[in-house]
Amino acid sequence: MTTELDTSLRLFLPKINTALNSYVPEDGSVLIEAARYSLMGGGKRFRPLLVLAMVEALEGSVEKALPVACAIEMIHTYSLIHDDLPCMDNDDYRRGRPTLHKVYREGIAVLAGDFLLTEAFSVVANDTGLSSEEKIKIIQAITTASSAKGLIGGQVLDLEAEQQSVGVEELSTIHLMKTGALIQGALASGAISANASPDIIARVYLLGYHLGLAFQIWDDVLDVTKGVEKHGVEGGRDQAAGKSTYVSHFGLEKASKLAIEHTQKAVNIAMSLSGNKDALIELIRRVTT
């Protein structure tokens, strides 16, 4: 995904970064310093942008959804810190810089991840712009996304699938859980804060299904085609770790084509929403460019 963003996304990006900065202010402690190293050190902000773009597509208030957008980026950042640890993917680069455990002790990296995950829920719980009912629905959506049936469960399956040949069906399940679930959670949280009906929320989950799958297939494509400079993480790591990917199954060309087909399906669903869909469609299209 490139980082040149269109108009309303360009407005959303500084809002997200300013709010994140204020949610995790420096306090002189090593914990916050480490958390900020990862949280404020780059990243495309794809998931918080998705939250706000979804809100705009459903004619909701972007300002009201900003805390939720930040909470989701905190959860995503925690997942990256832990994903990079020696006991997981054992990676040295993230967001174009050395991984957190390379700069601080491994224990501090684990705890900084724990902190960001916990703090995300504190941001939502303590927010004054959302109603209590909205907060509960949003917390339900993001805990489901992060849970044993979502991100964490997907990471477990991903670890267990290393050095094994995994069929495409199981691979898509892993992708949908480890990556798709939080993308669905981001879109659903935006929809909830925009007071979407259950019918629209179901449509939003389907959009997230296609987008999540496309996102992880493309991440695996980039692992083969791009390195730290362009993608922020080292290339060739999936093959080195013996991971099955869409690329190892189908080859680069077919895997890319499948990802593009899924983004097109996501765009088609986005088109059916009632408000200004430009930012959302722009964001979806950027996944496979």
Interacting residues toward ligand IPE by CB under 6 A: 43-44, 46, 76, 79-80, 83, 89, 91, 95, 151, 155, 178-179, 216, 219, 223, 232-233
Residue 46 Cβ, how far from ligand IPE at the closest point, in Å?
4
Residue 52 Cβ, how far from Mg ion at the closest point, in Å?
25
Query: What is the pattern of x (binds Mg ion, CB under 5 A) and - over residues 181-220?
Result: --------------------------------------x-
- Site residues (CB under 5 A) for Mg ion, limited to 66-95: 83, 89
Q: Nearest to Mg ion by Cβ — which residue?
A: 89
Q: Which of ligand IPE, Mg ion, none is residue 43 near (CB under 5 to 8 Å by kind)?
A: ligand IPE
Q: Which of ligand IPE, Mg ion, none is residue 146 near (CB under 5 to 8 Å by kind)?
A: none
How far is Cα 289 from Cα 275, in angstroms, rounded to an integer? Answer: 25
Query: What is the pattern of x (binds Mg ion, CB under 5 A) and - over residues 218-237?
Result: -x---x--------------
Q: Which of Mg ion, ligand IPE, none is residue 216 near (CB under 5 to 8 Å by kind)?
A: ligand IPE
- Residue whose CB is less far from ligand IPE, 94 or 137: 94
- Residue whose CB is less far from Mg ion, 73 or 223: 223
Q: Which of Mg ion, ligand IPE, none is residue 138 near (CB under 5 to 8 Å by kind)?
A: none
Residue 204 Cβ, how far from ligand IPE at the closest point, in Å?
19
Q: Which of Mg ion, ligand IPE, none is residue 178 near (CB under 5 to 8 Å by kind)?
A: ligand IPE
The yes or no reply on residue 179 touching Mg ion (CB under 5 A) is no
How far is Cα 161 from Cα 247, in angstroms, rounded to an integer? Answer: 15
Residue 212 Cβ, how far from ligand IPE at the closest point, in Å?
9
Residues 6+ apart with CB under 8 A from 226: 235
Query: What's the chain look like in SS3?
Result: CCCCCCHHHHHHHHHHHHHHHHHCCCCCCHHHHHHHHHHCCCCCCHHHHHHHHHHHHCCCCHHHHHHHHHHHHHHHHHHHHHHCCCCCCCCCEECCEECHHHHCCHHHHHHHHHHHHHHHHHHHHCCCCCCHHHHHHHHHHHHHHHCCCCHHHHHHHHHHCCCCCCCHHHHHHHHHHHHHHHHHHHHHHHHHHCCCCHHHHHHHHHHHHHHHHHHHHHHHHHHHHCCHHHHCCCCCHHHHCCCCCHHHHHCHHHHHHHHHHHHHHHHHHHHCCCCCCHHHHHHHHHCCC
Give the footprint of Mg ion on this chain (CB under 5 A). 83, 89, 219, 223
